[in-house]
Amino acid sequence: MTREVDVAIIGAGTAGLTAQEQVVQKTDNYVIIDDGPLGTTCARVGCMPSKALIAVANDFHKRLFFDEYGISGANALRPVYSRIMARVRMLRDEFAGGVIHEMLPFMDKLIRKRARFVDPNTLDLGDERIRARRIIIATGSKPLIPEKWQSYKDLIIDTDQFFELEELPKKMAVFGLGPIGIELGQALHRLGVEIIAFSRRKTAGGLTDPDLQTYAFEHFSKEMNIKLGTAEIRRKSGNGVVVGCESGEWTVDRILLATGRRPAVQGLGLENLGIELDARGMPLFDPGTLQIKGLPIFLAGDVNGQKPILHEAADDGNIAGYNATADSISCFKKRTPLAITFSSPDIAIAGLSYRELKDQGIAFVTGKASWEKLGRARMILGKAAGIARIYADKKDGRLLGAELIAPAGEHMAHLLSWAVGAGLTAAKALTMPFYHPVPEEALRSALGQILKQMDDPEPASRMELCRESDP
Q: What is the pLDDT of residues 82-104, one digit of tens each?
A: 999 999 999 999 999 999 999 99
**Angstrom distance (rounded) from CA 152 to CA 132:** 42
Single-letter amino acid, residue 29: N
Residue 130's nearest CA partner among 10, 213, 35 is: 10
**Angstrom distance (rounded) from CA 236 to CA 372:** 43
**HSE on the CB side for 442, CA within 13 Å?**
28
**HSE on the CB side for 359, CA within 13 Å?**
7
The alpha carbon dihedral of 397, 374, 382, 202 has a sign of positive
Q: Express each pLDDT in 292-342 by its tens digit.
A: 999 999 999 999 999 999 999 999 999 999 999 999 999 999 999 999 999
Q: Express each pLDDT in 116-151 by its tens digit.
A: 999 999 999 999 999 999 999 999 999 989 999 999
Under 8 Å between Cβ of 400 and 357: yes
Backbone φ and ψ for 198, nearest 5 degrees, come out as: -120, 135
Q: Express each pLDDT in 222-255 by its tens digit.
A: 999 999 999 999 999 999 999 999 999 999 999 9
Report the relative pairing of strands 171-175 and 254-257 from DSSP bridges: parallel
Residue 396's nearest CA partner among 433, 362, 360 is: 362
Count other C-beta atoms under 10 Å from residue 445's C-beta. Answer: 13
Higher pLDDT, residue 195 or 373: 195
Under 8 Å between Cβ of 319 and 332: yes
In order of 39, 122, 134, 434, the CA distances from 117 in angstroms are 24, 6, 12, 55
Structural domains in the chain plus CATH codes: 2-143+262-325 (3.50.50.60), 147-259 (3.50.50.60), 338-453 (3.30.390.30)
